[in-house]
Amino acid sequence: NNLSDALNDYGKPEVIDFNLKGNLVKSNKIIEFKALPNYLIINLSRFKYSFGLGNKIDKYFEFPLELEIKNNKYKLIGAVLHS
């Protein structure tokens, strides 16, 4: 996986079901970037939770040196990795 793919997946519509006054309702949830800052900080949660327990995802993840989102260009200037 890489950051570009993760951001693309983040913006895909998600179908959610919820109970509204006793009726099951389906809806689409979508996350969009309306405006972007001059400096972008991205925090990745690298844990998968199951039955209340968190397991660290220990897969290789690639960060580009440059990233473009909606015609805004960002350069990677730092990364913090926890092991």
Dihedral pair phi/psi, residue 7, rounded to 5°: -70, -40
| Alpha carbon distance 59, 44 (integer Å) | 13
| Alpha carbon distance 25, 7 (integer Å) | 27
Which pLDDT value is given to residue 11? 82
Question: What DSSP line would sit under 16-61, residue for residue?
Answer: EEEEETTEEEEEEE----S---SS-------EEEETTEEEE-----
Which pLDDT value is given to residue 83? 66
| Mean pLDDT calculated for residue range 1-9 | 85
Which pLDDT value is given to residue 74? 92
**pLDDT tens column, 40-80:** 888 877 777 777 777 777 778 888 999 988 888 999 998 88
- pTM of this prediction exceeds 0.85: no
Q: Average pLDDT of the chain?
A: 85
- Tell me: pLDDT of 6 over 90: no
